[in-house]
Chain A
Amino acid sequence: MASDLKRKLARLPAPHAAEPDAALTPRSAPPPPAASGSSDAATTIEDERRARIATLRALVRASEGEHAARRPSPRGAGAPRLPGAIVATASGPLHRVERSFGPDHRHGRVSVVEAASVSAASLAALALDATLQSVDPRRVLFLDTETTGLSGGTGTLPFLVGMGWFEGERLVLEQLLLRKPGEERPLLERLGERLGSASAIVTYNGKSFDWPLLRTRAVMNRVAVPPPRAHLDLLHCARRVFGPRLGQVRLVQMEEEVLGFVRHGDVDGAQIPALFWDFVRSEDESLLAPVLEHNVHDVVALAALVTALAERWEGTRPDHTPEDRLSVARIAYRYGDHPRALARARDAADAGGSEELTTRALVLGAKAAQKTEARSAEEAFLLEALAHAEGDATAAIRLSLAKLYEHRLRDLDRALEEVQLLEAIVGEEAMATRRARLERKRAARAAQRKSERS
């Protein structure tokens, strides 16, 4: 029976699911030897593997650019080429890498340590999540993982966990590397300790990716990892603030467009799983060096992004684009912080953006003014918006004006003026109800005045 199965296995075509590797196989790879017996199958696979590792090395070297020159050749002396140290824990060995960044460190143009002094209220507002108000920003844990795949599920391993936290004026980074599957316990226990002392975790897409994956690993390894007290997922904040301007909100885009940081020789994220498995099989540490570097950037970028986001929430600087200002105004409006919405809308309208953006900012300003019961400000915003508006936008603004005059300022004559102007745009029929009501009210008011006088 068993030998029968073995015979059948030998005859099976190469299984599916190795396709990510296929992309890495060099085009010049030698074709498998033709007409060779099945005993050569293993050799062929080994050849393919060597070819693939060679390609990966070439990629790694190319990505490292000038640094490659001063690196010793791979497979040299057995000295570990990765930074950090393997510490023995009660649950087994753990590879830890520590770094720290001083108070002056910037990621691109943006200070990293300033993230410690933002207010929790700003974070809560940016995330539209009131539970973040009680978070101590000095005690957050920045968290980012590198994994063996993006599809999630129980078979996807987070093999590198990057964590960052503040110690006084410094940002401390700790990376936990899984050197082979089956050694996850010490890594998860260390993560659990850090989580236990953090007031919140800060991630990029961690709500749907990193955290569920880590929680899965905790279950799979029967390690009690406490859930984070709060979770600030910057992806959603970034999408709200920068999405309208940038369209895509991948972390590298944020770095380039918002933080002013450009990565040189960064490893392509799509290759990371293959690099890890080839590291596991070959124990060639040089393969993972760029992945560790990539992860450092990711974690540091989280802190810088907190700074950049909070800065836009807390005030307006000349370099903040009109789009970003308008986005912050929208968030403030949604969060119910109407005075801030009004102020940011004003800032957005004054930033010299397109007529359309200015119009939208002014309309939003009017809405915020309405909520703060600043009647004259509402009217001023709307009238100013009218001056910038084009096409269909005009009708909506006039309708807002008509409502303002009718319901809040109780100026029926001016309301009717707007209705008359609207009728010219949208037709009399659409305005018939409103006109009838306004005229009825005006007649009633006249009658009342008359009776008061008599």
Chain B
Amino acid sequence: MSTLEDPLARPDPPWTSERGLAPLLARWREDPRVVFEHLTPRREARERSFPDALHPNVARALRARGVSSLYAHQADAFERARLRSSGEGRASHVVVATPTASGKSLCYNLPVLDALSRAPETTALYLFPTKALARDQEVALRALLRESELGQGAITFDGDTPGDARRAARERASVVFTNPDMLHAGILPHHANWARFFSGLGFVVVDELHSYRGVFGSHLANLLRRLLRVARFYTGRSPTFVFASATIGNPEEHASRMLGEPVTLIDESGAPSGERHLLVVNPPVVNAELGVRASYTKTAVSFAAELIRAQVPTLVFGQSRNQIEVMLKYLRERVASDGVSPEAIQGYRSGYLPETRRRIEEGLRAGLVRAVVATNALELGIDIGALEAVVCAGYPGNVAALLQRFGRAGRRNAPSLALLVTSSMPLDQYVATHPDLVAGAPIEEARIDPDNVEILVQHLKCAAFELPFEAGERFGDLPEEATTDALDYLVSHQLVHASAGSDAKLRYHWSAESYPASHVSLRSASWDNFVVVDLETSQTIAEMDFRATHTMLHVQAIYQHDAEQYQVERLDFENHKAFVRKVVPDYYTTAMTYTRVSVTSEDDAAFVRGSLEADGVAVGLGEVAIVEKVVGYKKIKFNTHENVGYGDVRLPELAMHTSALWLTFSEATVLALAGALPASLTSDGASPRAARAAVVEAIDGIGNALHVVASVGLMCDPRDLGHVMGERLGEGELPQRGDADGAGFDPTLFVFDRVPGGVGLATRLFGDRDALLTRARSLIELCPCESGCPACIGAAGIEPDDPTRAPGPRPRPGLALRKKLAIALLARVGASASEPKAHARADGPRDGARGAS
């Protein structure tokens, strides 16, 4: 990247367009693509004077900054945390769940500064999900420490911390900023070296609590169990926890589950906010038959380009690394004619090296960068200065993530814009037709399962390594009996040894040679990153996680980086390196994956309500092995999105054991429906074989609908789930290829937890199976398409997971019947017709809202 130039230094372009948001908003109100508008009025601050208990030095430091009062939630958080830590009364830990930019960090910094002022030996541990966030907050707290005349040190301890700074952190720092991975592998297993730090541990701050969901969240909960054990070893009590979270549906429950102790919620923000316009843009249907809509990527680019022309600082969020590179390229081309230099529009993603990212952040703060196209690297609270508009290309999968992205825009007093462009993806279309979902308070709940057996056992090993377990001890909130069961399991594998010590107490001691933390990764992608090396310069240009490598860095893949295209020439799988060379192709590539599922154990089985065994439709719940393999790739032409070729990929499979719900349709059911197909189908020249294929295809389509309604029902990110159609196979069994008619197997739909071991999503789906099937039928019935579209059962012949998919129908016989067949199948398994249109009211106008046109 070349040096940043000041785009404003250029002469004004010849066009005299509107400046600022207001004229754009006025025009967009008339745009038929805008299906929803919502205005959140300006909110005044609710303030309180400094609490009496606040140490005068801290109060003075705030006053010197021009702060003479606190927002209500900041004062509340301070009081509660102070009470808990001073042991007065029976105060519990605190979770602060207020919107982005409401001054959450002061909620935890104040009690810490106050305690450091009163008891200088106090220490505090700050946990952030990413290194970048920790570094950001370190700078902020250091300034406050200095201004409060505190001599104690604050330091970031992560993988990048050099050796002497590490020693300083252990021996002298009062506040340590780190991430869960480092706490897990670098601090807790060596806690004796941190004896001074743990002996003073008064506070633990966990920011971005909502981001610890699913596997990562379940890991963190276990990590906190371990942290509590170590803290109690040194101080005999647990430190005060202050959690900070974006607004989610269940912050209090989530924090309590995370900690295993009661946590009090503070969620009424006292911070002011400027008025915010929320727009939902649904690109028009371009193929009614298939329900295919205009490219949401391009639509987002065109809206963003208008904002840039109107000189509104804009942040564009994409769904994937690939997509943001495409948008960056389009956006730069689009505004180049208006004299905006390419450097004024920057990409920002997690694959970028730290120095590149920092340069972009500085450019934004300095106003040299006018727009940033980002993945969720920016979603978590990195301060990048004042942005007036956020454009989200595609629904990020859950309301909390969307609101976090939207929260990046808006200054205290100026109006701001949050704009969502929905794709043709089912969940996006669900949001487009029910937009009040995103205008109201978030309803999604963060879910974790700290007792997921795989995760639990891994951390129990680490915990035993850290401190021997005493007989009868509980691991966090895990009951005594369960803790003992789990420890006995480790004893039976000779990983721990139970013996009575000098004091005759029975203890479980770690008794294996290896260092358990080094075998446990807290992130689901439990593998090392790959680096991307430019063959021409021999420079490392990016890093990529293990899983993404399979789809983005296979040989021949077009790898997009900073709007340049590179072709992967060699992938050194053993050494985790991909070698790329810059090319100028007229296409990009997208990987095709093949998924295979086999059942390892069945926990529960049922026949669906109303259906008889004769119908042969069974629902099962159990553990499955999922094997994913990238088998090839497609070449997609830029701009036209035509498919212009294929290639093979040879990479190892990715295997995962998890829990799943499955729905098996017996061969008899399939044949019965196939036999009942109208003659018109067979007159197309189709055989009974084709009729059967049509039924199987309809079942596949139901999988798509199930996936959508499952994620809505669970209020989870659709990416937390996976679905695939296959056969009910045992592990290692080969699929049977039936007779010439393709018959001979029972098509089975699997909806699975996309997390090793599962975090309980499949179990909840099984419990809710009747409603699930009914919702799926309703989704399909209420969808306006003719014969199936991506929003319901998926458009036939198009990969449902490809966000940049091309509208290229490849009709096959029986296609037209897919939707009817799917409804018939669901009717057969007892799904009742048309769910009451409880959520359809969103189509009607409401305050400040306009219905779909």
Contacts and interface: CB of A to CB of B under 8 A. Distances in A.
Interface of A: 1-2, 5-6, 8-9, 11-12, 14-21, 41-42, 45, 49, 91-93, 148-149, 151-157, 180-183, 185-186, 212, 215-216, 219-220, 273-274, 277, 280-281
A11 B510 CA distance: 22
Contacts of B505: 182
Contact of A152 (B190, B495, B509): B190
A153 B515 contact: yes
B466 interface: yes
B451 A155 contact: no
27 contacts: A2-B485, A6-B485, A9-B486, A15-B461, A16-B519, A17-B495, A17-B512, A17-B516, A17-B519, A18-B494, A20-B512, A20-B513, A21-B494, A92-B502, A149-B514, A151-B515, A153-B465, A154-B465, A154-B466, A180-B497, A181-B501, A182-B502, A182-B509, A220-B467, A274-B513, A277-B511, A277-B512
A124 to B, nearest CB: 24
B678 interface: no
Contacts of B53: none
Contacts of B493: 14-15, 18, 45
B502 A183 contact: yes
Contact of B485 (A5, A41, A157, A182): A5
B189 interface: yes
Contacts of A5: 451, 453, 456, 482, 485-486
B515 A212 contact: no
Question: B interface, how many residues as a size bin?
Answer: 35 or more
Nearest to B490: A15
A280 B499 contact: yes
B499 A154 contact: no
Given A14-B493, A154-B190, A182 B499 contact: yes
A287 to B, nearest CB: 15
B499 A18 contact: no
Contact of B489 (A9, A20, A148): A9
Question: Nearest 3 pairs between A and B by C-beta?
Answer: A182-B501, A92-B502, A155-B465
B513 A9 contact: no
A404 B623 CA distance: 81
B165 interface: no
B853 interface: no
B337 interface: no
B502 A273 contact: no
A281 B513 CA distance: 15
B512 A9 contact: no
Contacts of B499: 180-182, 280
Given A14-B493, A41-B492, A212-B193, A149 B515 contact: yes
B500 interface: yes
Contacts of A274: 513
A281 B485 contact: no
Determine which residue in B482, B494, B518, B623 has the highest number of CB atoms from chain A within 10 A of its CB, and name it: B494
A151 B494 CA distance: 19
Interface in B452-470: 453-454, 456-457, 461, 464-468
A57 to B, nearest CB: 17
Interface of B: 189-193, 195, 451, 453-454, 456-457, 461, 464-468, 479, 481-482, 485-486, 489-490, 492-495, 497, 499-503, 505, 507, 509-519, 601, 623
Contacts of B466: 154-155
Contacts of B601: 11
A6 B601 CA distance: 15
A157 B499 CA distance: 15
Nearest to B520: A16
A5 B487 CA distance: 12
A195 B586 CA distance: 74
B300 to A, nearest CB: 44
A280 B623 CA distance: 37
A183 B501 contact: yes
Given A9-B453, A92-B501, 14 more contacts: A5-B451, A5-B453, A6-B482, A6-B485, A21-B494, A152-B190, A153-B517, A154-B189, A154-B192, A155-B510, A157-B509, A182-B509, A220-B192, A280-B511
A17 B489 CA distance: 14
Contacts of B191: 154
A15 B520 CA distance: 11
Nearest to B463: A155
Contacts of B193: 212, 216
Nearest to B512: A17
B707 to A, nearest CB: 26
Contacts of B510: 155
A17 B492 contact: no
Given A20-B512, A155-B465, A12 B454 contact: yes
A20 B514 contact: yes
Nearest to B466: A154
Contact of B481 (A2, A91, A277, A280): A2
B482 A149 contact: no
Which residue of B451, B502, B518 has the most chain A CB atoms within 10 A of its CB atom?
A: B502
A156 B510 CA distance: 8
Nearest to A220: B192
A230 to B, nearest CB: 20
Contacts of A6: 482, 485
A216 B499 CA distance: 21
- Among B193, B195, B513, B517, max chain A CB count under 10 A is at B513
Contact of A42 (B457, B492, B512, B514): B492
Given A15-B490, A21-B494, A281-B497, A185 B502 contact: yes
A342 B512 CA distance: 52
A280 B507 CA distance: 14
Contacts of B492: 41-42, 45
Contacts of B490: 15
B502 A9 contact: no
Given A6-B485, A21-B494, A91 B502 contact: yes
Contacts of B519: 16-17
A201 to B, nearest CB: 19
Contacts of A20: 512-514
Nearest to A21: B494
A422 B216 CA distance: 66
Given A2-B482, A91-B502, A181-B499, A12 B514 contact: no
A162 to B, nearest CB: 20
Contact of A181 (B451, B511, B517): B511
B24 to A, nearest CB: 56
Contacts of B502: 91-93, 182-183, 185-186
B196 to A, nearest CB: 10
A146 to B, nearest CB: 13
A25 to B, nearest CB: 12
B195 A219 contact: yes
B489 A12 contact: yes
Contacts of B516: 17, 155
Nearest to B502: A92
A239 B497 CA distance: 39
A6 B511 CA distance: 21
Nearest to B623: A11
Contacts of B190: 152-154, 216
A220 B490 CA distance: 22
B328 to A, nearest CB: 42
A183 B500 CA distance: 9
Nearest to B461: A17
Among A49, A154, A216, A220: residue with most chain B CB under 10 A: A154
Contacts of A154: 189-192, 465-467
Interface centre among B192, B492, B623 (most CB of A within 10 A): B192
A409 to B, nearest CB: 44
A353 to B, nearest CB: 37
Nearest to B454: A12
Contacts of A182: 468, 499-502, 505, 507, 509
A135 to B, nearest CB: 25
Nearest to B501: A182
A209 B511 CA distance: 19
